[in-house]
Structure formats: structure tokens, C-alpha cells
Structure 1
């Protein structure tokens, strides 16, 4: 990809674009919001959804997390009244930076990306461990000129470490994707996207009783927050929505970003310089009120 194509790919798209979503949907409550926001944004054409692996208290291991996410995707689609192509993803994380984990999701991305070109790329929104995307790149490196990856992962460059959930599960995968030369947009968690939070009064005012999907999202979020913060003035971060919102960020209405050389996540929980020093787009500020308003309106229209 030449420098002009790279700069164009790292700019917010103008007009309708084709998108695939890579999501660990059962991990917590924010992926469901992101999937719904994507499907309710008419200028974003969802071509496929990939179930990503995860391992926390909601799964017995990466494969179980991926399979639960696969089922949760269909649950959300049913509430939306929508259909989409859905593919199972990696049952495990990358064993190293050279060996892909072959899965239906990775195979689909390899095949699908070949239908696109640098001046009209396929946008890959990734909101979990980025194993599926890294595997596809390792299986066919030519796709890096045909995709743009927007990833919710890592922490802000000024944060004291980068031991963020999506990144720390598969550091090798993050290094593969970020170092591949594919146009890459990073939405860091603590220090940036952590500003995108909501509260019980807002959820109940905007979502409760509006429709079955809105009720599901409202109830899930409140129950999750109350499970650890009952009796406090809690707020809940809806992390993953921001990765979808970058595609809708015309005139910087939802976030601010800059171009800068890629910083690779290291295995010690810090960032390090990428040898190629190619450019990426780094989001550094979220316009919480504008984005939350757009999200709530689309969920209830």
C-alpha cells in the first residue's frame, strides 16, 4: 500500500462502507451495544460477524468463550430483527507470532478481503482479543492492503501499563496485526475510552420500556454493575461502541484522533517502538455526550 492509500485508509470513511465485526459478545455487556449500534447504522453495511475467543469468569476457556459469544450474537440479532452471516472464530490464542489458528472466521476474512482493494477497503471492527484477524493475516498477508482494522484494545500511551483485557489475552495477535502494515486504528481503553460511561438513571430514562432490545441491554448493564457496585454511585463503561463509532466520526463529532507511528505492545506489559515505524491512527479523546445520544437514539428508533 502506498502512502496516499494509507493516509486515505486512516481517515474516517465518507459515505457507506462494508464492515465485518469481530466480537467476544458474551464476555460482558458492551459488545451487545456495539453489535446493535452497528446494525442500526444504515451507512455501515455488515457483511459478516466473527465470534472471538475470551477467557474470564464468564467462560471455562477461550473456546468456550468463543462458542458462547457465537450463541450470543444470534440472540442479539433476533432482538434486532436482523440476519447476518456469523462465523465461529479461533478456539485458542496464537501459539506464537508466526502460526495462525485456522477457523471459519479467519478463512472467511481471507476470502472476503480479496473482493476489496486499497481505494475501497473492507473495514474490520475488532472488539475482543484480535486472534481471528491476526490468524487471517498470517494465512494470507496480501489482505493487509485490502482491509482497515479498528480495534478497541490496549491502554492509552500515558497509562502506566498496557495490560488491558483484549490485548493481554493474545499479545502475539496484537503484535501481528499492529506490525503487519495493515491500516490500523487504535481505540485505547483506560485513559481514553474509559470516558465513555453511562449510569443507571440514564439507562432507565433512555432504554427501559422502549423495545425488547433496549430492555435487554438496560437490564444486562444494570445487573452487571449492581453485582459488584450495589449501593454506590456507579457508572459503567460501554467500551466497544467506540470502535464502531470511529467509522461514523465525520467532522470529529464523536472523537479526536491523530496520526502517529505504531507502538507495539510488548510482552512485559509496556509499549515498544515498531521497527517499521509505519503510521497508525490513535484515538485520544471521546465526545461522550454526543456518542451516547446517537447510540441511545438508534437503539430506540
Structure 2
């Protein structure tokens, strides 16, 4: 399964897919929506960017922390949160939202089948290899890795944009999305899938905002604006001098403007058991985001929410 070395024609095809996409792209969004408050912003950002994105499906991803009793409960709560967001955006959910995995991968070769993984396989195989489906993952990549393991042919039909791990310069990559499912993370890094890697610490950690900014920028601007203010307000008990990273919007901002999200081609890192990286210059290339220009990203997001106003 692992494509750790260069692979000729597929390498050239992968490099073509890793170029910044021009025009409107087709995408699906895989999200652990109830885990944090940033997923709600990312889902909203994607759906309010029809000039660049055609969102074909939303997948609920598993998570396990203080907000869930296990990955199955986390996935179900994420599914329900997606429905709440769609209701406030007045977007129909029928045939658009899919439940994902109820557990993490047991190893790096065994998929966990789910409605989300099956839909991704079907949707990817129906895509022209020259017009790939972008798979944007902002949680543990269990659903995406499962789809790859279920049908490796989709490697030729998709580009994965994954928010996970930390910057390649960071001393460790012990980040929530990656730690939740190390096997799925390794599938994403090792399979050879065209990958845009969007790290957390040291890169998307620039995307800080505060309750006063959120209130002033989108409070009173429609049901979704008020809901996002509410979500932000209840995430912390004392907002005096407090700011929070809205990590996941980086994956959507990647499509908006190449200059906002500088990136470069690097060899896919090797994920070690201790959540550190090793590097091998014979491994396949991926695109890694190096920095996020915070202000234009938030300006774009806030402007789209203000213009929606429903």
C-alpha cells in the first residue's frame, strides 16, 4: 500500500494535481464538527464561497475527547452539528450529509467502512482524473483513509487537503487530528495520494481571533453570524485578554488566494510512533503550507458572512 518511493508516471500526475487549482473546484468536506469551534467556521466558509468551491458532500468524522464518550459518539455529535449549521444557512441536508466511521483504523491496511467512505469512493471514481475531486479533511482522516484502503484506484481521482500534524520544523507532531488516528494519518502520508498538508502549530496557529472581533465583525449578520458568535462565546469562561485559533479555515483559504497560503513541495515525512517526523528524500512529493496571512483570510470570511445575512 505504501508509496514511499517515487513512482514514475504517477509522480508526474501527482505533481500536476498539486499545482494551485484554477477556477472552480469540486470538493467534499470531512469534519469532526462538534470537536472544536473552528469546524463550524470552516463549514460556513466553504458553503459561502461558491465562486471557488462546489461543495458536493459533508462527512461527519469521529473524535474522542471531553465532548464525546468515544469516536462513535463524537461522529454522531458532529453529524448533528453539521445539520445545525445547514439549518442556519438554509441549505438542505438530504443527500448532502453522510455519517462517517464509528471507530478508528485498527491498523494501516484495514478500512472502517461507513456511509461517508462509501460515498467518497463512488464520488471519486465518477470523477475525471484530469478534474480531481478535492477531499478537504479537518479532523482525524479516518473516513478518507478508509476510502483509499477500500478502493486504491481513487488515488488517481482525488487531491486531499488535510489539516493535521504540526509544522515540519516543529519539535513534534503530537496534534489532535493526527494523534486520534495514527494509522489513518500514516495512510494519508504514505499512500502517495496527492496531498496538500496544512500543519497546525507554527503555521495555522497564526489564525487567532477574539470574541470582541467576532462580535463586531459578524454579530447581527444573519442566523449563521449570530450562531458563530454564540459558539465562540461559550467556548471559554473568561474572554478578557483571550484569543483562540480558528485552525480549520486554513484549508478553505487555500483555495481562495494562492498568496494568502504560501506553500512548497516537500518529500512526504515519515510519521514515527512517538509523533515525530523522519525525512527521506526518495519519498514522493506533497505540497506543504508554510504560513498563513491571517488578515485577508478573516476579512474574506467575515465579508461573506455579512453578505449572506439570511
Query: After the TM superposition, which segments of 4 or more aligned residues of structure 1 sit over 2 Å from their partners?
Result: 1-5, 272-276
Q: 2:103 — aligned with what?
A: 92
The one-character-per-residue Cα deviations of 1:104-124 (angstroms, maximum 9, x if unpaired) are 111111111011133110000
**TM-score (normalised: structure 2):** 0.93
| 1:78 aligns to 2:84 (yes or no) | no
Which residue of 111, 119, 143 corresponds with 1:108?
119
Distance (whole Å) between structure 2 residues aligned to residue 83 and residue 273 of structure 1: 45
Distance (whole Å) between structure 2 residues aligned to residue 135 and residue 239 of structure 1: 24
**TM-score (normalised: structure 1):** 0.95
Q: CA deviation at 1:153?
A: 0.3
Q: 1:247 — aligned with what?
A: 255
Distance (whole Å) between structure 2 residues aligned to residue 47 and residue 291 of structure 1: 23
Distance (whole Å) between structure 2 residues aligned to residue 44 and residue 83 of structure 1: 17
Structure 2: segments with no counterpart, 5+ residues: 1-8
The one-character-per-residue Cα deviations of 1:138-188 (angstroms, maximum 9, x if unpaired) are 001010010000000001112121110000000110101111111001111
Contact 2:211 2:239 in 1 (8 A): no
Which residue of 227, 231, 235 corresponds with 2:243?
235
Distance (whole Å) between structure 1 residues aligned to residue 273 and residue 305 of structure 2: 39
Distance (whole Å) between structure 2 residues aligned to residue 273 and residue 176 of structure 1: 16
Q: CA RMSD for the aligned pairs?
A: 1.3
Q: For 1:207-222, list aligned pairs within 5 A.
A: 207-222=218-233
Distance (whole Å) between structure 2 residues aligned to residue 266 and residue 239 of structure 1: 24
Distance (whole Å) between structure 2 residues aligned to residue 271 and residue 118 of structure 1: 31
Q: For 1:8-23, list aligned pairs within 5 A.
A: 8-23=16-31
Distance (whole Å) between structure 2 residues aligned to residue 90 and residue 275 of structure 1: 34
Structure 1: segments with no counterpart, 5+ residues: none
Q: CA deviation at 1:238?
A: 0.5
Deviates more, 1:56-65 or 1:270-279: 270-279
Contact 1:12 1:249 in 2 (8 A): no
How many residue pairs match? The answer is 296
Which residue of 187, 197, 213 corresponds with 1:186?
197
The one-character-per-residue Cα deviations of 1:3-60 (angstroms, maximum 9, x if unpaired) are 4422221122100111000000010111010000000001200111110000011100
